[in-house]
Copies of this chain bind each other. A is one copy, B any other.
Amino acid sequence: MSVASPEETRSAPTLSAVAKLAGVSSITVSRVVRMPELVAPETRSRVEAAMRELGYVPNQLAVALARARTRSIGVLVPTIANSIFADTVQGLSDELEPLGYAVILAQSRYDAAREDHMLSVLLSRRPEAIIMVGSPATEEGARLLRRAGIPVAETWDLPATPIDAVAGFNNYEAGVAVARHFIEQGRKSLAFIGGDDPRATRRWNGFNDTAQALGAKAPRRLVLDRNASGSVAALAELPGVDAVFAANDAHAIGFMSGLRKAGFLRNGPAAEQPVALIGLGDLEMGRLIAPSLSTIRVNGEAIGRTAARLILARGGPRHIDLGFELVIRDSG
């Protein structure tokens, strides 16, 4: 039962509030929290009682300022919703939370200006490291990160000139693998659908280069609006195409639904598919639907975990290629 005193300002109790109640100095309370074995058992339990009574929770801001260690890491993703990046955030946060790190999350929404802004917002909280999907879109962003003097992990790609650590896979080669597969299958008219962010563009480049090198006619590229994945439209704009590489599984499944509505889809083995379709990401959904979705499998969670380990690691390799795997199911 607590009696409301006039000056009770309803703000979190401090070290010295606890100290006062326990009749010790604040440093003793601090020691009870951090190095209890240095405090006499009798004093310790008095302090612990006071902490419990007041509901004391240490102020990590003050701790961070005093020790110059914030125990937080900044995470920048294009978007957290509807997306393969959620797995990456889950992975890195599973790795980091047990170590006492807080995850500060920011979204760039695929916008370079917003990315720079969020980068400096993150940096202003003095995270001990930054993990981002992709690489800074602008030189300004890269400079910010370099000046910060903290570990930086770029993920989901293998940048040519990384800032620091890298945990990703070769998006260009993913495009190569898909094109090669289509050509080996005897497909003639290829197309690529997806966004135009840097990673999707790399996939396109690998796809396009390879298709042409192997003698197919120039593939078409259709840039989809980020929300329009239920793209019946895509089909309308791709007459005569017999093989499609979608930059991610969500686009692929949207396109598949367009195919179905247009009556182009029959269940069964790939050979019977009038339009072959391969996605990227290996969403669980892709395995469950019919026809099941062929895809470039990428382990988003492992990317997150690896990035987390890299920014914590003192030495060792700084660049890890997690690879990908072409998984052929019914759709292509």
Contact = CB atoms under 8 A, between A and B. Distances in A.
A28 B190 CA distance: 62
Contacts of A72: 104, 125
Interface in A277-294: 284-285, 287-290
A93 B288 CA distance: 31
Nearest to A304: B81
A148 B13 CA distance: 10
A124 interface: yes
Interface residues of A, number: 64
A87 interface: yes
B60 A126 contact: yes
Interface string A60-101: 111011001010100100011111001101110110010010
Contacts of A284: 82, 229-230, 250, 254
A316 interface: no
A39 interface: no
B80 A89 contact: yes
Given A100-B121, A102-B121, A102-B125, 10 more contacts: A55-B147, A57-B148, A59-B124, A65-B65, A81-B89, A81-B301, A82-B86, A93-B106, A253-B288, A253-B289
Nearest to A230: B288
A294 to B, nearest CB: 16
Contacts of A143: 55
Contact of A260 (B64, B80, B102, B290): B290
Contact of A257 (B55, B58, B121, B288): B288
Contacts of A106: 93, 97, 102-103
A248 to B, nearest CB: 13
Nearest to A102: B104
A317 interface: no
Taking each of A57, A68, A79, which has the highest tally of chain B beta carbons within 10 Å of its own beta carbon? A57
A66 B107 CA distance: 27
Contacts of A10: 149
Contacts of A81: 86-87, 89-91, 301
Interface in A112-144: 118, 120-126, 143-144
Nearest to A265: B290
A256 interface: yes
A104 B103 CA distance: 6
10 contacts: A79-B90, A80-B90, A81-B89, A82-B87, A90-B107, A97-B118, A253-B285, A254-B288, A257-B287, A257-B288
